[in-house]
Amino acid sequence: MPQVGFGVFQVSDDEAERAVATALREGYRSVDTASAYGNETGVGRALRGSGVPREELFVTTKLWNDEQGFDNALRACEASLSRLGLDYLDLYLIHWPVPDRGLYLETWRALERLKEDGRARSIGVSNFTVGTLGRVIEEADVVPAVNQIELHPYFQQDGLRAFHRDHGIRTEAWAPLGQGRGLLDDPALAAVARAHDRTPAQVVLRWHLQIGDVVIPKSVTPSRIAENLDVFGFELSPDDMKTIGELDKGVRFGPDPVTFGTG
Ligand code: NAD
């Protein structure tokens, strides 16, 4: 799985097609979408139009909350594959656990079946907590390969990342840039960026890479799409890492996975 991929949350079908085409031209090979984003068709068009061989691509999609349950999940995967125009996914994720509905374990069994059948090369979860992830690990045959969670310098999730490390689960950061909501204006990041002659976005993405995260930054602006992949030619020092480590506010921007999707 490439450590830097391309996200397409809140992007229409047509815009997703354009942005993914640009990203693939710039050298991205991994794309993260979801049935809930409503743009799998546009993503699929860009993948096919790019001329990049299927085996070089890494395509992730996710099943939405109303697609949970064993049979529903099998059907949801077929529907996503058909919209994407693919015959297998590289990674299929349960988008949110919705613990109150109590369907995520049954849904996980369907993902295990999809893996067995080759419809998904690997399977994982998103927005799972230590509690819900722990239940999956206890009950399942296959340990999730990935947990895709909100993670950025203002919300660093040290406890969950340690849990992932202990269980061999890869941490994938969504909102790696803090969704453009002020994080990139932080003066501490600006100072580190100046010292490396890089942008704050590149510094944040580099921080993720050095703590071991997979990242899927989103942009529809060609220059930013290129900038966000250009993060391999410099290294943050232990002092830089410490400075960024101290920015954690422990407050998420997104919904709380314990309650989201309930009711
Ligand atoms: P992000 O942190 O990637 O921020 C994207 C925003 O940051 C852009 O809209 C733009 O405003 C700004 N930006 C991007 N590049 C920039 C740059 N170089 N300089 C300055 N500003 C820049 O937030 P995101 O889109 O929410 O998260 C990334 C991806 O994660 C999504 O596209 C989606 O694929 C995934 N995601 C998953 C979940 C989930 O529940 N699993 C939730 C949200 C997002």
Look at residue 262 and tell me whether its pLDDT is greater than 90. Answer: no
Q: Which residues contact 247 (CB under 8 A, 6 or more apart)?
A: 153, 154, 186, 188, 189
Q: What is the pLDDT of residues 110-158, one digit of tens each?
A: 999 999 999 999 999 999 999 999 999 999 999 999 999 999 999 999 9
Sheet containing strand 89-94, edge to edge, reads: 6-7, 30-32, 58-63, 89-94, 120-126, 146-150, 170-174, 214-215
Are 58 and 5 contacting, i.e. CB atoms less than 8 angstroms apart?
yes
**37 an active-site residue?**
yes
CA 245–ligand 1 middle distance (angstroms): 20
Q: What is the pLDDT of residues 24-61, one digit of tens each?
A: 999 999 999 999 999 999 999 999 999 999 999 999 99
CB of residue 172 inside a 6 A radius of ligand 1: no
Residue 83 CB neighbours (<10 A):
19
CA 175–ligand 1 middle distance (angstroms): 5
Q: What is the pLDDT of residues 79-108, one digit of tens each?
A: 999 999 999 999 999 999 999 999 999 999
Average pLDDT over residues 206-220: 98
Are 25 and 51 contacting, i.e. CB atoms less than 8 angstroms apart?
no
- ipTM at complex level: 0.99
Residue 181 pLDDT: 87
Select from 63, 60, 81, 59 the least CA-distant residue to 72: 63
Measured CA to CA, the distance from residue 172 to residue 82 in angstroms comes to 25
Hey, is 220 helix, strand or coil?
A: coil
Look at residue 263 and tell me whether its pLDDT is greater than 90. Answer: no
Are 224 and 13 contacting, i.e. CB atoms less than 8 angstroms apart?
no
Residue 180 pLDDT: 84
Query: Which 8-state DSSP code applies to residue 4?
Result: B
Tell me the two tokens of residue 150: 């909100």
Are 111 and 123 contacting, i.e. CB atoms less than 8 angstroms apart?
yes
Query: Which atom in ligand 1 lies closest to the alpha carbon of residue 149?
Result: 41
CB of residue 180 inside a 6 A radius of ligand 1: yes
Task: Tell me whether residue 95 is annotated as binding.
Answer: yes
| Identity of the residue numbered 29 | R
Say which of 28, 37, 92, 154 is annotated catalytic: 37
Minimal-distance CA residue to ligand 1 atom 29: 7
Q: Where are the beta strands (DSSP E) in 101-233?
A: 120-126, 146-150, 170-174, 214-215
Of all residues in the chain, the percent with pLDDT exceeding 90 is 98
Residue 73 pLDDT: 98
Minimal-distance CA residue to ligand 1 atom 37: 174
CA 127–ligand 1 middle distance (angstroms): 15
Residue 184 pLDDT: 97
Residue 210 pLDDT: 98
CB of residue 255 inside a 6 A radius of ligand 1: no
Of all residues in the chain, the percent with pLDDT exceeding 70 is 100
CB of residue 218 inside a 6 A radius of ligand 1: yes
Query: Which atom in ligand 1 lies closest to the alpha carbon of residue 173?
Result: 30
CB of residue 205 inside a 6 A radius of ligand 1: no
CA 178–ligand 1 middle distance (angstroms): 7
| Identity of the residue numbered 237 | S
Minimal-distance CA residue to ligand 1 atom 34: 7
Domains of the chain: 6-245 (3.20.20.100)
Average pLDDT over residues 167-171: 98
| Contacts by residues 155-163 (CB-CB < 8 Å, ≥ 24 positions apart) | 155/248, 155/249, 155/250, 155/251, 155/252, 155/253, 156/245, 156/248, 156/250, 158/248, 159/130, 160/129, 160/130, 161/211, 163/130, 163/133, 163/134
Select from 19, 28, 13 the least CA-distant residue to 221: 19
